[in-house]
């Protein structure tokens, strides 16, 4: 099944060799979901190392040629390593990155790195990744380039971070699907308003899930510190976002710290999306 309406995994690629971790993770997620993979690179990049892509937009022919070559090399390298239905690449500029424009319109998961080409946070306003995130209507996976290796002998697990709002049940369900997909245990970090107010009954919500082993950890402390600590041993950290564009909660919510400096790959799930369509 091909074409602009075919659901797919979309990954942002800036041409750096350091993005091997991101590209491998994007291909692995496409394998798990049995979906094609499309890489996006930005035409604002230049062959000059001093050019900042957040600066004024000025295309030049050498920069476009370099972008195509790096993108083609990345696509071909992935095709040799992963038997996916399809791996393709697109060079786009700002005007092409819109919710209703291909390939972002077909994305079921957007994969980006935690830092841009010039080491600025990937979701910083004005960056290419921020434009992709703003346009995306799907979950976003942020892949760190320098995450610490899991401790020797530690069992991998999926970590979900939820608060006191009952809409976080969607986060629990999305995390459970990821745990089921990988065959890992699910750990749920529940940040409670206070010891006397347990919120929306997260244990009951997790307990209703089938075929997933789980453990609930409750805390009333700093959620960012708890996520950073537990996240170092996690295969994946799943967090929620507020209703509306995913771009806004990345900038404003408690989840921002872990998205800017993720201890492990972080999956941000828009709560208003039906989990069945977001995670299929």
The alpha carbon of 16 is separated from its chain's Cα centroid by a whole number of angstroms, namely 18
pLDDT in tens, 120-154: 666 666 667 777 888 888 999 999 877 666 666 67
Q: What CA–CA distance (Å, rounded) separates 79 from 85?
A: 10
Q: What are the residue ranges spanned by the domains of the chain?
A: 8-143, 157-279
pLDDT in tens, 32-74: 999 999 999 876 544 444 344 444 545 556 667 888 888 999 9
- Of 120 and 98, the structure prediction assigns the larger pLDDT to 98
What pTM value is reported for the model? 0.82
φ, ψ for residue 276 (rounded to 5)?
-65, -35
Peptide bond preceding 27 in cis form (omega within 30 of 0): no
Give the full edge-to-edge strand order of the sheet including 157-162: 87-92, 37-42, 8-12, 107-113, 140-143, 266-270, 236-241, 157-162, 185-191, 214-219
Are 8-143 and 157-279 in the same CATH fold? yes
Assigned fold of 8-143: Rossmann fold (3.40.50)
Per CATH, domain 157-279 is 3.40.50.620? yes
The 3-state secondary structure of 55-90 reads CCCCCCHHHHHHHHHHHHHHHHHHHHHCCCCCEEEE
């Amino acid at each position: 099944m091909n074409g602009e309406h075919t659901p797919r995994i979309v990954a942002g690629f800036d041409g750096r060799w350091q993005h091997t971790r991101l590209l491998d993770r994007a291909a692995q997620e496409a394998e798990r979901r049995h979906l094609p993979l499309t890489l996006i690179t930005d035409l604002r990049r230049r062959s000059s190392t001093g050019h900042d892509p957040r600066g004024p937009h000025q295309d030049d022919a050498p920069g476009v040629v370099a972008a195509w070559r790096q993108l083609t090399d990345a696509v071909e390298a992935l095709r040799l390593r992963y038997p996916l239905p399809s791996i393709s690449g697109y060079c786009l500029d700002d005007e092409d990155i819109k919710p209703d424009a291909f390939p972002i319109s077909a994305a079921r998961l957007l994969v980006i790195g935690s830092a841009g080409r010039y080491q600025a946070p990937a979701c910083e306003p004005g960056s290419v990744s921020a434009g992709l995130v703003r346009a995306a209507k799907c979950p976003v996976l942020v892949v760190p380039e320098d995450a610490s290796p899991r401790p020797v002998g530690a069992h991998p697990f999926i970590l979900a971070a939820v608060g006191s709002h009952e809409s976080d049940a969607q986060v629990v369900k999305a995390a459970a699907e990821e745990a089921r997909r990988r065959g890992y245990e699910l750990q749920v970090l529940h940040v409670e308003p206070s010891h006397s107010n347990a919120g929306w009954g997260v244990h009951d919500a997790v307990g209703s899930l089938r075929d997933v082993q789980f453990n609930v950890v409750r805390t009333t402390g700093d959620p960012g510190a708890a996520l950073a600590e537990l996240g170092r041993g996690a295969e994946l950290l799943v967090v929620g976002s507020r209703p509306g564009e995913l771009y806004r909660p990345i900038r404003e919510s408690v989840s921002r710290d872990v998205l800017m400096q993720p201890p492990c790959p972080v999956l941000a799930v828009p709560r208003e999306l039906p989990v069945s369509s977001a995670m299929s």
